Amino acid sequence: MVRHFLTLNDFSSEEIRRLISTAEKLKVGKEKSKILKDKNIAAIFEKPSTRTRVSFEVAVSQLGGNFIFLRGDELQISRGEPVKDTARVLGRYVDGIVARVYKHDDLVELAKYSGIPVINALSNLYHPCQVLADLLTIKEKKKKLEGLKLAYIGDGNNVCNSLLIGCTKIGLNISIGSPKRYEPKKEIVEKAKRNAEKSGAEVEIINSPQEAVRNADIVYTDVFLSMGDEIEREERMKTFLPDFQVNAKLLENTSPEAIVMHCLPAHRGQEITDDVLEGKQSVVWNQAENRLHAQKAIFIHLF
């Protein structure tokens, strides 16, 4: 049976832990694999990318495969071809698809009709590859996952959604501090709460960043303006700044041992200040590196 990686909600807590463990072993060289030898991976990118594209391309190469990069405007989808038609054709040419898309429904369509594994490299709803790398980073820095508290400050976007799912799957408490109207979608929160009932994690959605970071082990933020939200720039800046900026003053509400995370790219002076991003609590560069190891683990799991 073909398995896809569209959202962490499709994976059990045991499977997520296994993915993290595999990534840990790959990172330190205790596990090596050429699982993609003689395999071709098509990468559909409708949005710009630095970390996601490069980490996936390197991952495929290190696993022995061939990476075929396809910009959205290079495909017939951009001229009106149904996604399901593209999916069925690619499924006869290649062995897997990595897709970074505007609409999550397009990923679902690719998975439904391609007959080969499809990996979500970012959609409007989820960014599971990022959060798998985040969990790996937290495990490295804190030596555990269960029982910790992660505070996410900012927009209830795709990264926030995947953090809600990933944290509650493995028993990591999560507090979301977002302005009113910018909280994560209710259906995502409900999924997270159902996960939390099984794992024992706590879920909190509040409008106070100070309360959200109180006693947090991890403080996480992302851009206030995701790709596609630029038209709302002025309104969002007025809403988020200055209260929802991760800065030295906000970090006074948590402990000096708390780590600071950002999935990048960062808009310094908006969602996070330069001194915090470059400070001793920041682990953002470890996060970025861990995208490579986490994605290699995904390929090993799916193939």
Q: Identify the pLDDT of residue 78.
A: 83
Tokens representing residue 90 in the block: 């690619």
Q: Identify the pLDDT of residue 229.
A: 63
d(CA 241, CA 239): 6
CB 131 within 8 A of CB 137: no
Domains and CATH numbers, the chain: 8-127+291-302 (3.40.50.1370), 131-287 (3.40.50.1370)
Q: Identify the pLDDT of residue 231.
A: 66
Supply the DSSP string of 18-81, one letter for each residue.
HHHHHHHHHHTTS----TTTT-EEEEEESS--SHHHHHHHHHHHHTT-EEEEEEGGGSGGGGT-
Q: Identify the pLDDT of residue 226.
A: 73
Q: Identify the pLDDT of residue 230.
A: 66
Q: Identify the pLDDT of residue 140.
A: 98
Output the 3-class SS for 222-261. CCCCCCCCHHHHHHHHHHHCCCCCECHHHHCCCCCCCEEE
In which residue are the tokens 């075929």 written? 68
Q: Could you read off the pLDDT of 35-92 as tens digits, one per residue?
A: 999 999 999 999 999 999 999 999 999 999 999 999 989 989 888 899 999 999 999 9
Q: Could you read off the pLDDT of 214-233 as tens digits, one per residue?
A: 999 999 999 998 766 666 88
Tokens representing residue 137 in the block: 């980073």
Active site members: 100, 127, 130, 222, 263, 291
Read off φ and ψ for residue 200, nearest 5 degrees: 85, 5
pLDDT under 70 in the chain at which residues?
Answer: 227-231
Torsion, CA 109, CA 113, CA 117, CA 118, rounded to 10: -20
Q: Identify the pLDDT of residue 288.
A: 98
Q: Identify the pLDDT of residue 228.
A: 61
d(CA 90, CA 80): 16
